[in-house]
Every structure is written in structure tokens, then in C-alpha cells.
Amino acid sequence: MNWRVLQTLFVKEMLETFRDRRTLFMMIGLPVLLYPSVLLIGAQVALLRQERIDKGVSRVYLETASLLDMPLIRPWLEASGKISVVYTIMPRAALRDGEIDLIATVKAPLSETFFARKPLAVELLYDVTEQRSLEALDRVDRLLKDVAEREQRRRLEERGIDPSEVMPLTVSRVDLAGSAKVAGSILGALLPALLIIITALGAFYPAVDLTAGEKERGTLETLLSTPVTRSELVTGKFLAVFCLAMLTAMVNLVAQLGTMYVFLGQVSETLPAAFSALLRNPLPLLAVILAIMVPMALLLSSLMMAVCLFARSFREAQTFLTPVMLLIAAPALIAGMPGLRLTPFWTFVPVVNAVLAFKEAMLGGVLPQDLFLVFASTLAVALFVLACAAWLFQREEITLADDPVLPLSWRRDAYPPRDFLSASHALGIFGGVMVLIFYVGSLLQAYWPLPGLLLTEWILVLAPVLGVLWLVRADFRAVLGWRPARLSAYVAAVFLGIGAFLATASFGALQERFLPIPEAYREAFQVFFTAGRDPVSYVWLFLVVALSPALCEEVLFRGVLLRGFAGRFPAWAAVLLVSFLFGLFHLSIFRFLPTALLGIPLAYIALRSGSVFPAMLAHALVNALALAFSLRIMPEPVSLWFFPAGPEVSQVSLGALILGAGLLPLGIALLEKGRRA
């Protein structure tokens, strides 16, 4: 690595970037104009709502055991002027619908309790998801406690006892940190995700411009003809992308904090004070931001460059980066999960660790040791990705290839018949399906679990894929592997299917140790199994849960994606990439690893047999086995032999593990033998 060469490359990239008005505007101008305004509007709406709640009157439904008590208790509540007692016919429904904010139930008549010197029980019903309801709860709770304390004092004095003697402790609430906390919580919720997204946006444009852009403008070949080594080339470009990403991120950060500081004063008096408190001693905050942003920028720059290297044009690079952006935005959601803290496990998960470290810092301080680990592990991943990028640059088919561009048209006759889909087109189809599932599929399944799943698979996965293939006049046999396989391939698929089922089950048990599935998530799945216990329901269930996903998902993953990738990448890389996307497809962090793992044998089967059908068989078998064990259709001894602790625990017995370990090589041998024949 020659430092002078690196410096020369770096200076040239910077010079070129800063001379391009379009790049400058996309990198700095647009975010500076756009994001603060989005932030501003969002914050204003949130704050206005908060204020309306503060100033508003809580509507409380009061229920007393005796009608006579009503005029006595009502003044207790309405004394503050912030509560109005309202009447409604169905209070619980009204509370659910947000027509009232709280139901207060006095369990027994005052004459038997309060006035008879016995404890009076008051029950407060509220809705934790409604800010107004929580506010009402707080108000009523305080008022009732005041009444209780006054009465206690009165009774003690009546007996001639000094209240301070029997009240060893008095608690008074003084909200000192109020405003700072509001600022902290807003920043804590907003900043980590914001920081990562702006860093990603900062890296996005330079990464595309310096790789695919250079290829498109035809200057890459000029560069490749010089004595510069490929590693020097990648490193020089990477340094430039990194610096531009950091620069953009910094400009954005300053602009955003500035906007918050200046404009929030119009809607709140407390926030600016809190900010200036924060800005007066910004060093800890800055240290955290830098400790997180620098390795994040390193990682994102190298990742995006590596991805863009595959692209042959500007537009293709942007398509390739879209799933990467999704991948980066997802951790922001994960970190939003309540109760998720920076444990040793999460410290080593890139992006997630940065968000969690930031959250810790906002919650009261992150240990320098943890911060260092986050920094170091992110750096390690970044260097690994950079090495991958340098390796990719060595490959001539990536740096020197030229591929014809597909026309974009709705008319079928614009496309010549083809027996080949490129990796980028396959990826485009995957992206489209993901968008459909994300916005339509999840909605369908939420309202209508089983039919929703069926519709998702057939209408949102299978139909669009086949539709696009029909439109571009692709040969189904070639681009999907839609052709019969040898008998031995189906036998191998059965062996590998059973083996893969046992392997994923054991992996699930392993994963449970470091990433336990929350109860609520588990319950969501129970809905499948609450169907009737008659044969018709079972057949229906097997069709929807086992058979139809196998058919539809195989067409997309082990068909279009696998064959598309296999044309561009080595076979092993195509298998891994497809499996990774298959894991992503399930849209759940808990199912990501098991499903990605399952994708590997399925892709292997499809690739070796040359057909998608054996993969469908194996996939259906895995799903059917999982379903049969969960429904307890299997005879008890069989079930216990496989899962001694019950199928829910998915702890596979030693015997079953040996069976699986035997079936896998058997299936592989069958496929390899069939391939040679």
C-alpha cells in the first residue's frame, strides 16, 4: 500500500465530488433543507398535542356504590378544575373509544367505610395506550391521595395526636429535571436512528458515484490500466466515501440540532432551556456521537461500496442499495423495543450496538468499556467488509464487464424472449414483493390470519413473480428451474428436508438462549392452532401453512433469485445470498436466523437438481413436520422420541440429532451422484 498513491486518489475523488453541483446538493443541500423541515413539523405536532392534554380537562366517569355518595365525592375530583365528571351509558366502551379518559369506581358506600372509619377502596380504570387517560389517572390518583391525607390528619388531630408523630415519612414531588428530561427523552428516541440514517445517507451518494458512477462514465478502465493496485484503489475510494459520509453527517447533525434549538422555542418554553443546558456541556454527548458515528460511517461506507461494485450503472447501484438501506433502518426499530439493553450479545451486532449504546448514554451513561467494545466490533466488521470490497475489485467480471440494459416498458412486445434474468432484475422483483408484503400482506394477516396468509402467498408473492416473468417473456423452465427432476433428487429432498427440520429446530433451541422469543410474539402464532380439531380443519391448515408457502416461496427464492444470482456470483455465494434474503423475507428478528439457515439446504437442492420441484417438496416437508408436531398430530411416543421436553421447547433428542446428521450427508451424496451421472 503506497501512501502517496492513496493520497493522490483521495484528493482526486474529493476534487471531483466538490466540483459536481448535483452531488453537492444531494449530499448536503437536500438533507439540510429537507430533514429539518420534516423534523420541525413532526415535533410541532407532537408538542401541540402534549399541550392540549396539559391544558385540557380530563373526563372521568364516576361510579359510586350508593347514589347518595355522588354529591360528596364529586367535589373532591372537581375541586382542581382539571377534571369534569361525566355520565355515559356504557363507560367501558366509551373508555376504549376515547370518549372518556378514566372510570373511577367507589366499591362500597361511604357510610359503611369512610364515615365508619374503615378503608374505602376506589378502583381506577384507564387505557395505557392513551396519553389523555394516563394524564387523568395521574390527576385523580393525586387528588384522592390528598383527600386521604387530609382525612388522616383530621382524625389524628381529633384524638389529640400530632400527625408528625405517626407519619414518619412525608414525600413531596418537586419536578426539577422536568424540561431536561423531556429534551433527553426526545433526543434519546430520535437521535440514534437519526444519526444512523443520516450517516447512511451521507455514504449513499458518494458510494454510488465513486464506484458505479465511475464505471458508467467510463473512467474506471483508465484507472485500472495504471500501476495502482486494486487494494490501493479500493482504499483510496473508501477513504473518500468515508470522509464525505462523515462530513454530510456532521452538517446534517448541526443543522438538525440547530433547527430544534431555534424553532422549538416557538412551541415550548422549556425545551430551548434544556438544549442550552445540554449544549453548555456537550462533551459527553459529542464523545458518544463520535464514538458511534465514526465506526458506523466506516461500516456503512465499506458496505455500500461493496454493494455498488456489483452495479454497472448509477441506476442499478441505487436499486442495489435500497435493500441495504432497509437493513440499516431496521435496527432503529429493534432498538425501539422497550427493555432491550446493551448486553454482551448485542455489543457485537453491528448497527444495533450503536443504537443501543446511544440509548444507554441517554438513560444515564454508557460504560467506556462498552463504548469501546461497540467501537471495536463495528470497526472489525467494517474492515472485513472493506476486505470483501477489495477482493471484489480484483474480479475482472465485476470491474470490466458490460451487460446490456433491459428496457423498462409495460408492453410485452418490447422484450425479446429470454432464458436468463440478471441478478439485479431478480433483486428488483424481490424488492417489489417485499414492499407488497410489508404494506398489504401484514395488514391482511393481522385481520384475517389464515386466509390472509394464503392470499399473501398466492397474490402477493406468486402472482407478481409469474406476472413479471410473463411480461418480460422469460422462459419459465430456465429462469425458475420449472422442469422435472430425477427421482433420486426427490428422495434426496425428503432426506434433506427431515435433516433440515431437525437442524433448524435445534438451532431454535440454541437461539432461545441468547434471543428469547417474547410471549406476545409466540401468542400471535397460536392463532393458527386454535382452529378446529377435525380432519377438514387439519387439511386446510396443512394447505395454508405447509403446502402453499412451499410452492410460492420456492418460485421466488429458489427459482428467480437463485438462478439470477447464480449467473453473476459463484454458486456458494448465490446460495448464501438467497438464504439471507429468505431470512429477511420473514420480517422478524426471531425467525431471521432459523429461516436463513433453512434456506441453505433448499437452495442447494434446487441448484444441484436443476429443478425447483425437489426444493418445494423439502420446504413443504419441513413446514408440515413443524405443524404436525405443534398440533400434536404425531403419536405421543414419536413426538416424545424427537422432542423429549415437548415440541414447544424444540430441544431435539440425541437420537433425532443422530438421525438428522445421518440423513443430511445421505441426501447430499444422492444429489452429487445424480449430478455426475
Partner 1 sequence: MLEARELGKAFRGRGGRPFWAARGVTLSVRPGEVFGLIGPNGAGKTTLLRMIALMMRPDEGEIYINGESGREFPDRLRHRIGFASGNTRLYGRLTPRETLFFFGRLYGMGRQEIARRIEELTGMFDLGPFLDARCETLSTGQLQRVSIARVVLHDPPLLVLDEPANGLDVLTSESLFRFIRAAGRRGTAVILSMHQISAIENLCTRVGLMHEGILIRQGIPAEICRETRQPDLQSAFIHLVSGEDVGDRGRRS
Binding site for partner 1 (CB under 8 A): 4-5, 8-9, 12, 15-16, 19-20, 217-219, 221-229, 396-397, 400, 419-420, 566-567
Nearer to partner 1, 396 or 523 (CB): 396
Cα(444)–Cα(438) distance, integer angstroms = 10
Measured from the CB atom, the residue of 16 and 63 that comes closer to partner 1 is: 16
Residue with smaller CB distance to partner 1, 111 or 222: 222
| CB-nearer residue toward partner 1: 351 or 560 | 560
Helices (H), 395-486: 396-399, 423-436, 442-447, 449-455, 463-471, 476-480
When the beta carbons of 183 and 566 are compared against partner 1, the nearer one is 566
Between residues 533 and 675, which has the closer beta carbon with respect to partner 1? 675
Scan for cell 434544556, then name that residue.
Answer: 274
Residue 311 phi, psi (nearest 5): -80, 150
**Single-letter amino acid, residue 271:** L
Query: Which one, of 305, 312, 298, 285, lies nearest residue 217 by Cα?
Result: 312
The secondary structure element, H or E, covering residue 324 is helix 314-335
CB of 225 to partner 1, least distance (A): 4
What residue type is 121 in one-letter code?
A: A
DSSP state of 404: P
- CA 650 to chain CA mean position, Å: 25
Instruction: Report the amino acid identity of residue 255.
Output: A
In this structure, are residues 104 and 62 in contact, taking their beta carbons and an 8 Å threshold?
A: yes
Report in angstroms how near the CB of residue 496 gets to partner 1 at its nearest: 22
Q: How far is the CB of 572 from partner 1 (least distance, A)?
A: 14
Q: How many CA atoms lie within 13 A of 563 on its CB side?
A: 24
Nearest distance, CB of residue 395 and partner 1, angstroms? 10
Q: Rounded to whole angstroms, how far apart are CA atoms 657 and 483? A: 33
Closer Cβ to partner 1, 12 or 153, answer by number: 12
Nearer to partner 1, 244 or 366 (CB): 244
- Cα 323 from Cα 308, distance rounded (Å): 12
**Alpha carbons 652 and 62: distance in angstroms, whole number:** 56
* Closer of 375 and 393 to partner 1 (Cβ): 393
The least distance separating partner 1 from the CB of residue 211, rounded to whole angstroms, comes to 15
Q: How far is CA 295 from the centre of its chain?
A: 21
Q: How far is the CB of 25 from partner 1 (least distance, A)?
A: 15
In order, the DSSP letters of 331-397 are: HHHHHTSTT----HHHHTSTTHHHHHHHHHHHHT---HHHHHHHHHHHHHHHHHHHHHHHHHHH-HH
Q: Helix 589-609 vs helix 613-630: angle between axes, to the nearest 10 degrees?
A: 140
Q: How far is the CB of 310 from partner 1 (least distance, A)?
A: 15
H-type alpha helices, 472-612: 476-480, 487-514, 519-526, 535-541, 548-554, 562-568, 571-585, 589-609
Name the residue nearer to partner 1 (CB basis): 99 or 475.
Answer: 475
The minimum distance between CB 398 and partner 1, in angstroms, equals 12
Shortest distance, CB of residue 205 to partner 1, whole angstroms? 15
Q: How far is the CB of 227 from partner 1 (least distance, A)?
A: 4
- Identify which of residues 8 and 88 has a Cβ nearer to partner 1 in the complex: 8
Task: Tell me how far CA of residue 653 lies from CA of 275, 631, 641, 643, in angstroms.
Answer: 58, 19, 7, 6
CB of 226 to partner 1, least distance (A): 4
Minimum CB distance to partner 1, residue 318 (Å)? 20
Nearer residue to partner 1 within complex by CB, 573 or 661: 573
Nearest distance in Å: CB 420, partner 1: 6
**CB-based contacts of 69: which residues, under 8 Å, 6+ apart?**
106, 109, 110
Least distance to partner 1 from the beta carbon of 573, Å?
13
Q: Give me the amino acid identity at 521.
A: Y
Closer residue to partner 1, CB minimum distance, 258 or 570: 570
Strand partners, 59: 84
CB nearer to partner 1: pick between 232 and 316: 232
Residues 141 and 145: their CA atoms lie apart, in Å, by 6
81: Cα separation from own chain's centroid: 44
